[in-house]
Structure 1
Amino acid sequence: MCKTAYCILIERAAKYARSQDCKLRVFFERAGKAEDRDLVAYMRILKTQGMPFDGANSAGYGSLTAEEFKDIVRGEPRGRTKATPMLQIADLYLYPMAKGGYDPSYRPYRALMGHKRLIDAHLPPEELASRGIKYSCFDRIKKRPGLAGPSF
């Protein structure tokens, strides 16, 4: 997983956990020694330096500080094998989320949204850009429900 995607994912999960007055613990599927080390290193950066983006360019996203990450995210990420059942949930959600970014009529995406299984189903439209699913890597063909336009 690239550093950008990881940092955005963890920050948005941490923001949601904070909004629910909860803490966050991160688990990931092991991929290899170097990749696993990278994920742990990314978390250490978040907890010591905050988000690794230009503050002026990302000001509209309400980035968390290093102190906020330390307070919300417990410990370091822990690697698990594919045999861990909860890790399989992520695989089942990822493709519908990605495809829903450019085809909101995709049936599995609609089902997840309809059953409020995606973060976007719990957020008001004005918070989607800073707390919802981030689609910056995809050219979007159609607007997602609830958005005035693409949020790259």
Structure 2
Amino acid sequence: MSDTTTPKALAPLLHLYLDETGPRHPDKQSTAAKHGLDWFALGGFLIRKEDEEAAKSSLDQFKSKWPQIQAPLHLTDMRAETKRFAWIGRLKGEDRDRFWSSYRTFLSTLPVAGTACVIDRPGYLARGYGSRVGDEKWMLCRSAFDIVVERAAKFAKHQGRRLKVFYEMADPDTNDMVEGYFYNIQENGMGFDASTSAKYLPLSAEDFSYLLLDIEGKDKSNRLMQIADSYVYAIARGSYERKFSIYRRISESGKLVTSQAPPELAPLVGVKTYCFELFKAQKQQRPG
């Protein structure tokens, strides 16, 4: 990895845009979905600061081709053809196909590196997490946040950059909680057990103090946060279903951080799937 001695004022920036999908509380009932999957994921994409304007311009160009878009992009509503995206369901078949094809092309040509930590919620509970003494501090969102930010920081270090984090704002208490996660890592480093996390070569508190610049909340109207919404959902869904069309397109286009990192670094900075043992075991038992 690159040296971290570059003066802070001179180091170029890597930006991490984060959104979430799925219930963040281990004991909260998941909303029934047609795909039958139950995850919590935190992620989005990494982008060099100097590439942000190109990404925004690309989104503007996509929207200009579909003037029916009158709301911030939200992939769940778009796929369900509900709320302010009900118009997608009224398109003729060939036009609907053209819309989704153009959207996949838009996402797969952005100057970004998709990243996420995807946690299988049934697998998380099967491990006993969230029910042991002291586990209350490790809600799904904290586990995912720490993992995805640390991996992003390693990727930034490899590129000789510092990292700034942007997240989609919610209510004030949740915003304070998320920002608290960030500042805790920045000041104290990772809180995972040293013996079990050693194989991931965790960064030191000194590394984090240098690499992590700041965190800032953005609302749903932010153009780059709209992209993060699609990326985190696609990566979460694709962690279970590799043929999910949007995931497959961005993956095959090299838009995941896993494929953009050197092979020896990919296991340490790539997309992280967590507690998937139960899902994999059930999948092996299915007929055919």
* 1:52 alignment partner, SS class: coil
Q: Which protein is bigger by CA-based radius of gyration?
A: 2
Q: Is there any run of 5+ residues in structure 2 with no aligned partner, and where?
A: 1-23, 25-140, 282-288
Which of 41, 44, 54 does residue 183 from structure 2 map onto? Answer: 44
Q: Aligned-pair distance for 1:14?
A: 0.8
Higher-RCO chain (CA-CA 8 Å, sequence separation at least 6): 2
1:5 aligns with 144
Distance 2:220 2:233 in 1: 17
Distance 1:54 1:39 in 2: 21
Which of 129, 135, 139 does residue 273 from structure 2 map onto? Answer: 135
The answer on 1:17 being equivalent to 2:177 is no
Distance 2:153 2:264 in 1: 18
Q: Aligned-pair distance for 1:72?
A: 0.9
Distance 1:60 1:14 in 2: 17
Distance 2:230 2:239 in 1: 16
1:84 aligns with 222
Distance 1:127 1:19 in 2: 9
Contact 2:259 2:266 in 1 (8 A): no
Q: Aligned-pair distance for 1:12?
A: 0.8
Q: Aligned-pair distance for 1:40?
A: 1.3
Distance 1:129 1:20 in 2: 16
Distance 1:108 1:121 in 2: 16
Q: Aligned-pair distance for 1:126?
A: 4.6
Q: Aligned-pair distance for 1:78?
A: 0.8
Distance 1:12 1:120 in 2: 10
Q: Which has the higher strand share?
A: 2
1:101 aligns with 239
Q: Aligned-pair distance for 1:17?
A: 0.9
* 1:105 alignment partner, SS class: coil
* 1:45 alignment partner, SS class: helix
* 2:217 alignment partner, SS class: strand
Residues 21-68 of structure 1 deviation map (CA, whole Å, 9 limit, x = unaligned): 111111111111111111111111112211110101100011111111
Residues 61-112 of structure 1 deviation map (CA, whole Å, 9 limit, x = unaligned): 111111111111112x111111111101111111211122122222211210
TM-score normalised by the chain length of structure 2: 0.46
Contact 1:102 1:141 in 2 (8 A): no
Distance 2:196 2:280 in 1: 25
* 2:208 alignment partner, SS class: helix
The answer on 1:118 being equivalent to 2:256 is yes
**Counterpart of 1:119 in structure 2: which amino acid?**
V
Q: Aligned-pair distance for 1:136?
A: 0.1
Contact 2:258 2:267 in 1 (8 A): no
Distance 2:233 2:227 in 1: 11
Which of 173, 177, 198 does residue 59 from structure 1 map onto? Answer: 198
Percent identity, aligned pairs only, is 34
User: How many residue pairs align between the two structures?
Assistant: 141
